[in-house]
Amino acid sequence: MANGKLNCWEYKKCAREKIDQNTGGLSVCPAASDASFDGINSGHNGGRFCWAVAGTCCAGKVQGTYAQKRESCMDCDFYKIVCAEEGTANLRTKFLRFVPLGCGSSFLRDMTVRHIKKGERFINQGDRGEASYIIQRGSALLLVEKEGEFHPVDHRGEGDILGMSALFTGEPRQAHVEAESNMVVWVINKTTLDDISVNDPDLSEFLTEIVADRFDSKRPVAERTIGKYITTGIIGRGGYSIVYKGVHQNSGFPVAVKMMRHDLSMKPEFFSSFRNEAKIISNLNHRGIVRVYDVEERFKTLFIIMEHLEGESLNDMRKRLNTLSPDLAANVITQVGHALYYAHKQGIVHRDINPDNMFIQKNRRVKLLDFGVACPISTDDYQFGCAMSYLAPELLDGAPADQQSDIYSLGITAYELVAGKRPYPEESVANLIKMKRSMDIPDLSGKVPGLTENLRRFISKSCVRDPHKRYQDMGQALGDLLSPQDKSDISSRLGKNT
């Protein structure tokens, strides 16, 4: 049960949300196991959106696809209960939170009203968006058509907005929309949207948040054409961007397409930072740094076309293994160190060194990612990019980012890899900051089996509170990390791109 609302298995009492003696050995129902529907209709997995999930069990029978079971689902008592409850659900994206019914708003009075019959498809995937719709009464289902199949991806009820993304960005519709019941909607055209942007900044910001939210989906997404590239699905998401898997239209060459979220693209400082990332990485050429092939500015946001990587983030690897062996940790940190040494030589500080921004490829080569908050060395830019746990203490007092602050963050990362945790307790941010300023990290001597003296010394010296007592550059740090036989040719190795 989510927010006091029943999931389908609770209403039907089928006990198929888990395997136990009550199910007679039957498997878990897809409505309970399909995590791509998590959060839709305020439910858990597909539990309140069961009619959109293929292979569910209802009335003792295993159902087919959405298309095969649609008619019977529309007559289901549980479906009707959910639709009735949806008028008050998902208030964060409800338009009527800003313009409530009965307020006498001239904005609502000036919009035209349209009546839509149950079953009518009134938005078509691939069409240009000439209007968007606010649901006054009724509900609708969104369907993505992909490779000849229809995939239900969302459900909208009273107060929800339909078709805003295409109207806002100017790109083709990303899904079909069909009326689940008879509907009454208000129609927003392009002129009305432009008027909102000029006359109501708060409402305009709300609409851009909706657009950003709608592009982030766990369900199948429609293909999008971004310049010479086609995106095929979401492979990652962060606080300010969504990453799609893509291909070059002509060659089929695989790429990753990083899109800035639309709510942030409307803010000049974020747009500038995102553009800065593209500019910085496109000028870097090192095997340990993700490559940028192209930059596209369209649909009111920015897209960075990058090298497509297969593998996992260092953070995911650390969580999976709990700790890395000292040898493996040293190998990873050394590879990142080479990439950082190269970036520093180009006058660039990363400023966000942490395991999430290090990617382990299947061949165990490491790539350094996310230069979105990078800046020239010693630039007086005090926006903290690095997660607080990895942030050098001098930055807390307003010092500019430099090589030593990157080295500190890399040292904390190395500590976490071999110890399985970060050096300071993190229950309180205030206490974490206090400890960073007043205490050096614990010495790992005798605490990590197999820890080499080289790696122990690197961690200890990288994380000294006083930046003047740390390694003064990454080359010096690598001198401690490398084995004796490698030190003889360190000068020739550090500057190479391959």
DSSP class of residue 351 equals -
**Number of other residues whose CB lies within 10 A of the CB of residue 4:** 7
> What are the phi and psi torsion angles at 51 (to 5°)?
-70, -15
Active site residue 216: no
Torsion of CA 133, 136, 139, 143, to 10 degrees: 10
What does the H/E/C string look like for 245-310?
Answer: EEEECCCCCEEEEEEECHHHHCCHHHHHHHHHHHHHHHCCCCCCECCEEEEEEECCEEEEEEECCC
Distance (Å, whole) CA 303 – CA 299: 10
| Candidate list 352, 370, 473, 480, residue with the active-site label | 352
Say if CB 220 and CB 266 are below 8 A apart.
Answer: no
Number of helices (H), then strands (E), belonging to the chain: the values are 19, 21
> What are the phi and psi torsion angles at 472 (to 5°)?
-85, -15
Cβ-count burial 275-299 (b if 16+ within 10 Å, e if not): bebbebbbebebebbbbbbbbbeeb
Distance (Å, whole) CA 93 – CA 78: 24
Give all strands (DSSP E) within 149-277, no chain letters.
Answer: 149-156, 161-162, 176-179, 183-189, 224-226, 229-237, 241-248, 254-260
Helix axis angle, 403-419 relative to 326-345, nearest 10°?
Answer: 170
Distance (Å, whole) CA 128 – CA 145: 16
Helix (H, G, I), strand (E, B), or coil: what is residue 323? coil
Say if CB 158 and CB 72 are below 8 A apart.
Answer: no
DSSP class of residue 126 equals T
DSSP class of residue 173 equals P
Say if CB 76 and CB 83 are below 8 A apart.
Answer: no
Nearest in space to 323 (alpha carbons), one of 391, 427, 409, 414: 414
**What Å distances lie between residue 169 and 68, 93, 132, 358, CA to CA?**
34, 18, 12, 32
Residues carrying an active site annotation: 352
